[in-house]
Amino acid sequence: MSSSFKHKTLNRTFITVIYLFLLVLVIPWYWPENDARQFYGFPLWALASLGVLFLTSVFTAMLCLQNAESACEKVG
Amino acid sequence: MRESRVSNLLPFGFGAWLFFSAYLCSLLLLGWLGRKARKEDSLQDFYLAGRGFSFFVLFLTLYATQYSGNTVFGVTGASYRLGFPWLISVHYMLAIIVFMRTYAFKLQTLARSRNYVTPVDYLKDRFHSRFLATISSIVMIVALSNYLLAQLMTMGRALQGLAGPAGDIAYNYGVISLALIMVIYGTLGGLRAIAWTDVIQGSVLFVGFFVLLLLVINQFGPLSIATETIAQASDLDKLERPNSSMLREWLSYIFLVGIGGALYPQFIQRIYSARTTQGLRQSFAVMAFMPFITALIAVIIGIYALAYIPGLEGAATDQALSSILRIVQEQSLFGYALVVLIFSAVLAALMSTADSAMLSVSSMFIKDIYGVHIRPNASEQELTRLGKRCSWIVVGLLSLLAILLKEQTSLIGLLDRKFDLLVQLAPAFMLGIHWSGLRTGPVLIGLVLGIIIALTLAFGPFSFVVAGKVWGFHPGLYGLAVNLSYAILGSRWLAKRENFDPI
């Protein structure tokens, strides 16, 4: 197993774990159901969810702006 | 998703119609300029604009294509009905970009080196199966035709809302005139013209959403007062965290719309048309933030409508935005002018989505169906010429259907299973591009099983299917689970069997 293959697999695993972590937090299951507290008109649970979603956007943008993969990749 | 409506606006004056006419004429002019700019009479030039899109054009064409009339009216209407729990629309818009990122950059590199034109070209190259390619083409054509039909119907509703008592006739004229303009510029200049019009449409849409938010805050005051008003009206469930059943739906929407939207053929063709991977990456990076300034604004407008225009029920909730606009329009000349701009943004959202779907349907029909099964030896020029005719026929038939089905909203709801179908292509695209061990047979059988399961659950007479979902999850995801499992396990089993085969 080449070191570049290992690195790529580790990289993909890391990305998947981060996305799963964000997915768990972006769905506000952990917030009390009857909480109607607000901040500037937004319910707090909605702000928490939007905050995690914004982090997801930042993470996605960072991944997109990483150096392009090799142009000689094979199909599959 | 529900069919959207625009209504309740005051009839526009001469100046407004002049503005709309100038806007529509500019689209025709861009179509003509797109034709002048063509480099050769080939499928690649017509359907992919010679693969020459840089970051700026690519970003605006992706943006204008992703955010349709549904984003403007459907999301506002759903937020009116459900309140803050419909924030999920912001989430699934981002999920589309997240899932596209999993395969887009590698696919762009391949498309450039292997001259792919349609999404199915990749499948032919990767899996070497005509049967798999044909089924995939049919799935994509059916899903997109439904999408195009919904956009055409919304175009009709847009003009119907302005016409008052003559609404029915205006609906027909709306469908025919806007479809005609769209098909003219689309067939004149192909994707080049469509992307150039997307630059205008994306810009108008972008500005329109911002203006809309400012206008509503100026008119009704801060959001905090709107939510207080909703709380006082005892609509607390529209402010509280979604219940556990709705949370399951959130998860379902994130995966269904995220994966299905990422596999829209018109998006895949925009990936092909990028000049460089770098430009594509930059476009995606910016697109990752667009849900916050588009879908989120639509949700906020829905909340304002819920607070200040209570009492809308059923299909009338889709008129939440137009009811808000009517109030703004009546206040001042400035408000009137801004509503004209926003209405242009609505037309932009509708047409930019519909034209892309039209071009994708015609390219797949001509290259993947006609060029494979009917005339395999047809030249590029012949296919390009026929592709243009195909656009006219597709738009003509769907416009006729939009007029005939004007009142049949329930039928449209039944047809609207595009994401349940499109997600079944995920193993072939998203897994197939990264894992060379994925085999053709298991992918094909998985795809067929997935489609059968999704459609059976969606249309079968099952008591456990509630509001089109099973335990809060869309039928397409159950199909995808079986489809993906079969594709992976089948491929592994085949590889294992070959390793033990003494021959």
Looking at the fold, whether B439 and B413 belong to one and the same domain comes out as no
Q: What is the pLDDT of residue B211?
A: 86
Q: Tell me whether residue B429 is in a domain.
A: no
Q: Report the b/e string of B239-274 with b at 16+ CB within 10 A.
A: bbbbeeeebbbbbbbbbbbbbbbbbbbbbbbbbbbb
How many CB atoms within 10 Å of residue B131? 12
Q: What is the pLDDT of residue B1?
A: 42
CB A22 within 8 A of CB A59: yes
Looking at the fold, whether B358 and B502 belong to one and the same domain comes out as no
Q: Tell me whether residue B6 is in a domain.
A: no
CB contact under 8 A, A60 and B240: no
Q: Domain residues for B465?
A: 435-503
Looking at the fold, whether B332 and B442 belong to one and the same domain comes out as no
Distance from CA of B407 to the nearest CA of A (A): 36
> Nearest-5° angle of CA B193, CA B198, CA B199?
100
Q: Tell me whether residue B7 is in a domain.
A: no
List % helix, strand, coil for chain A (3-state, nearest 5).
Answer: 60, 5, 35
CB B407 within 8 A of CB B168: no
Looking at the fold, whether B501 and B391 belong to one and the same domain comes out as no
Q: What is the pLDDT of residue B5?
A: 46
Looking at B389, B417, B445, which one is the last position of a domain?
Answer: B417
Nearest to B101 among A49, A64, A75 (CB): A64
Q: What is the pLDDT of residue B167?
A: 63
Looking at the fold, whether B374 and B441 belong to one and the same domain comes out as no
Which DSSP string do the residues of B91-133 spell out, in sequence order?
HHHHHHHHHHHTTHHHHHHHHHHHT--SHHHHHHHHH--HHHH
CB contact under 8 A, A53 and B94: yes
Q: Tell me whether residue B205 is in a domain.
A: yes
Q: Tell me whether residue B180 is in a domain.
A: yes
Q: What is the pLDDT of residue B8?
A: 56
Number of domains in chain B: 2
More confident residue, A2 or B491: B491
Looking at the fold, whether B60 and B94 belong to one and the same domain comes out as yes
Q: Tell me whether residue B422 is in a domain.
A: no
Nearest residue to B362 (alpha-carbon basis) of B124, B201, B194: B194
Q: What is the pLDDT of residue B163?
A: 63
Helix (H) / strand (E) element for B417: namely none
- Alpha-carbon span B422 to B262, nearest angstrom: 9
Looking at the fold, whether B275 and B387 belong to one and the same domain comes out as yes
Looking at the fold, whether B228 and B370 belong to one and the same domain comes out as yes
Q: What is the pLDDT of residue B161?
A: 64
Looking at B359, B387, B417, which one is the last position of a domain?
Answer: B417
Complex confidence, ipTM: 0.90
Q: What tokens appear for B155 in the block?
A: 């175009």
Q: What tokens appear for B99 in the block?
A: 């899932």
Looking at B382, B417, B452, which one is the last position of a domain?
Answer: B417
User: In B, residues 95-114, which contact A (CB 8 Å cutoff)?
Assistant: 97-98, 101, 105-106, 109-110, 113-114
In terms of CA atoms, which chain B residue is nearest residue A28? B241
Q: What is the pLDDT of residue B165?
A: 61
Looking at the fold, whether B185 and B115 belong to one and the same domain comes out as yes
What are A33-68's pLDDT values in tens digits?
Answer: 888 789 999 999 999 999 999 999 999 999 999 864
In terms of CA atoms, which chain A residue is nearest residue B217? A41
Cite the DSSP H helix spans in B221-316: 223-232, 244-262, 265-272, 277-287, 290-293, 295-308
Q: Tell me whether residue B426 is in a domain.
A: no
User: In B, residues 425-444, which contact A (CB 8 Å cutoff)?
Assistant: 432-436, 438
CB contact under 8 A, A61 and B288: yes
Looking at the fold, whether B402 and B474 belong to one and the same domain comes out as no
Q: Tell me whether residue B55 is in a domain.
A: yes
Q: In chain B, which stretches have pLDDT less than 70?
A: 1-11, 70, 161-167, 315, 408-416, 501-503
Looking at the fold, whether B144 and B251 belong to one and the same domain comes out as yes
Looking at the fold, whether B367 and B476 belong to one and the same domain comes out as no
Return the residue in A12, A53, A69 with the most chain B beta carbons within 10 A, the one to mutate for interface testing.
A53
Instruction: Give the dihedral of Cα atoms B246, B247, B248, B254; nearest 10 deg.
Output: 110
- Alpha-carbon span A5 to A12, nearest angstrom: 11
Q: Are strands B469-470 and B465-466 parallel, antiparallel or unpaired?
A: antiparallel
pLDDT at A72 over 50: no
Which DSSP string do the residues of B139-152 spell out, in sequence order?
HHHHHHHHHHHHHH
List % helix, strand, coil for chain B (3-state, nearest 5).
Answer: 80, 0, 20
User: In B, residues 158-217, which contact A (CB 8 Å cutoff)?
Assistant: none
CB contact under 8 A, B242 and A75: no
Q: What is the pLDDT of residue B68?
A: 78
CATH number at residue B105: 1.20.1730.10
Q: What is the pLDDT of residue B4?
A: 45
Nearest residue to B178 (alpha-carbon basis) of B190, B170, B166: B170
Return the residue in A38, A64, A65, A70 with the most chain B beta carbons within 10 A, the one to mutate for interface testing.
A64
